Structure 1
Amino acid sequence: MRQPSRSRLALAALALPLAALAESRPPPLQALEAQGLTVHGRFAAPGGLDGYAASANGQAMTVFVTADGEHAVIGNLVDAEGNNLSAAPLDRLVRAPRDAETRQALADSAWIADGRDDAERIVYVFTDPNCPYCRRFFRAARPWVEAGEVQLRHVMVGILERDSPRLAISLLAADDPSAALAAHEAGTPVEPLDALPRHWELALQENHALMERLGLVATPGLVYRDEDRLATAQGMPSEAALTKILGPRP
C-alpha cells in the first residue's frame, strides 16, 4: 500500500485550519464569497462591527459584519468627523500586497532596459514594435533617461499588427536588446528572425497575460509609482502626465 508523502501530509494539515477559518466566517460573508468576493484579511472596527478587507473584480472594498453575525454592509466606514476608516485597512491588507505582487510580476517579465540600472525611478512600458505612440513616448522620455534619472523597462508585446509578435521576439532575442530597441525606435527596424526561440514565444505570451491582468488595452501601457502606490496610464501622455510619470523635467 502506497503511503502519502510528507509534502502531501503537510498540505493536508495546512488545509484543515484554512477550511475551518472559512467555515467560521459569518454567514453573510460566506454568501458574498460564494458570489465571487475575495477576503484578504480581518481588522478591528468600532461600534461592535467586524471589518473585512476584500476585493471583487479587482475592486478593493470593505465589508462590515454586525455583532450578531447575521448582517453585513459593504462600503466605507466614516467617523463623526468624516474620516474614512476603510482606507488604511484596504491599503495594508489589499493594495500593498497586490502592489508587491505586481512589482514582482513586472520584474520577472520579459523586458528591455532603456537607461541606467541605478536610476532613481523605474517605469515599466508595455511596448509594441509597431506602435507609433510607443515611439513618440520613447523619444519624449530621452531627457529623463539620458540624465540618468529614469530607467524605462520595455515589456515587449505583439498585439497591433500581424508581424508584431515576431518583431517583439526579435528585439528580445537580439545580441544587444537595448541597442536594437533604440535603433528600432529611431527608424532602423529590427531584422525579424526566421525561427523564433520557443522560450521567447512563451515569455511574450506571459507579457500579454500580465498586460491583460493589469487592465491595460493600449500601448504604450505605463506602470509607475505614484507616491506609495502603483499607478497605470495608457497611450502617449500629455506634458503634465509626463512629469507625473517620469518626475520633474531635467
Structure 2
Amino acid sequence: MQRLKPIFKRSLLTAAMVASSLSLPAFAQEQYVDAVQHLIDRGVTVTASFDAPGGMTGYVGEMQGRPIAFYLTPNKEHVVVGTMLNADGENLTEPKVQELVQGPQNEKAWNTLEKANWVRDGDANAPVIVYTFTDPNCPYCHRFRQSAEPWIDAGEVQLRHVMVGILKPDSLPKAATILGSDNPRDALKENQQNHDNGGISVDRTIVSANAKLVRKNNQLMSSLGLSATPSTYYRDGDGNIQMKQGAARPGEMPAIMGSSKP
C-alpha cells in the first residue's frame, strides 16, 4: 500500500487495497460535504466513517470492486486518499478496512461458499474447514493440496474444493467430470495423483450434465472479485474469516490450517 497522499486523481486507484466490495444502506441517504461528494461522483461508494487522528474523519468504501480509504481534513475542505501511518510507521488504515469492509465481506463470502458446489477433501468430522477455489489444471492448487496433506491426513482439516474451470479450455470439462462423478472425492484424488500427466480423463456425458455447476462456481469466484487460483478462505485464531489469493507460502500454512504442521 502507498503512503498517504494529498492529491486525489491518480492516487485514487493506487491507494485502493485489493479485496471485495461492501455497501451498507445506512449511508445511502447521507449528505456529504463537497470534498467527499466529489469522490462519490467519481465512483466511490462509502461504506462507513470513523474518527481518525488529527481531528480528521476517516472513510472506507469501494471503487471498482476495490476497497478504498480516505480522510476528510478538519476544515472539511480537503480529502486525502490512501494509507495513514503513525510516527512509528504503523499502518492505521488497514485495520479499519479489515474491520469495516473486508471482515464483513469475507463473512458473507463464507456463508455463500457453504452453499456452493464443492468437493470435500478429508474427514467430514475434521474440526477445521478451509474453502479453496481449485482449477483442475492449476499447478499452484496442486501444490497447495500437497502442502495441506499432513493436516488432512491427520484428520485435522477438511479442505473443501470449489471446483472452477478458468485456466485452460479443458479446465471446465475436468471440473465438471469431478463434480458430477459418482464419487467426487475419488475423482478429485485421481486428478491430483495424475496432475503431472494431464489429470483426470474427461467424461463428456458427465460434463454435459454438470457443466452448469462449474459455471456457477466460476460466476461465484468472479463475484467475489477473485482472479487467481487457488483463492482460499479460512478462519484465523480469533475466528475471523481471512482470504488468501494465490499460492500460500510455507510459513502461511499453519495459519490457514489452524495449527502447526502435524
Higher relative contact order (CA 8 A, sep 6+): 2
Moved more, 172-181 or 133-142: 133-142
Given residue 200 of structure 2, which amino acid in structure 1 is its aligned partner?
P
State whether structure 2 residue 230 is matched by structure 1 residue 223: no
State whether structure 2 residue 118 is matched by structure 1 residue 111: yes
Distance 1:44 1:108, change over 3 A: same
State whether structure 2 residue 169 is matched by structure 1 residue 162: yes
Given residue 221 of structure 2, which amino acid in structure 1 is its aligned partner?
M
**Offset, 1:172:** 0.8
Distance of 1:67 and 1:229 partners within structure 2? 34
The match for 1:62 is 69
Pair member with larger Rg: 1
Given residue 165 of structure 1, which amino acid in structure 2 is its aligned partner?
L
Tell me, which stretches of 5 or more residues in structure 1 are unaligned?
A: 1-14
**Partner secondary structure for residue 167 of structure 1:** helix
Distance 1:40 1:180, change over 3 A: same
The match for 1:182 is 189
**Partner secondary structure for residue 96 of structure 1:** helix
Tell me, which stretches of 5 or more residues in structure 2 are unaligned?
A: 1-24
State whether structure 2 residue 205 is matched by structure 1 residue 194: yes
The match for 2:8 is none
**Offset, 1:106:** 2.4
**Partner secondary structure for residue 194 of structure 1:** helix
State whether structure 2 residue 261 is matched by structure 1 residue 249: yes
Number of paired residues?
230
**Partner secondary structure for residue 116 of structure 1:** coil
Given residue 171 of structure 1, which amino acid in structure 2 is its aligned partner?
I
Cα deviation per residue 1:188-221 (whole Å; 9 max; x = unaligned)?
83551326456x433312322333444333x444
The match for 1:43 is 50
| C-alpha RMSD of matched pairs (Å) | 3.1
Cα deviation per residue 1:102-153 (whole Å; 9 max; x = unaligned)?
2223223221011123323222222222345544443443221121111111
**Partner secondary structure for residue 137 of structure 2:** coil
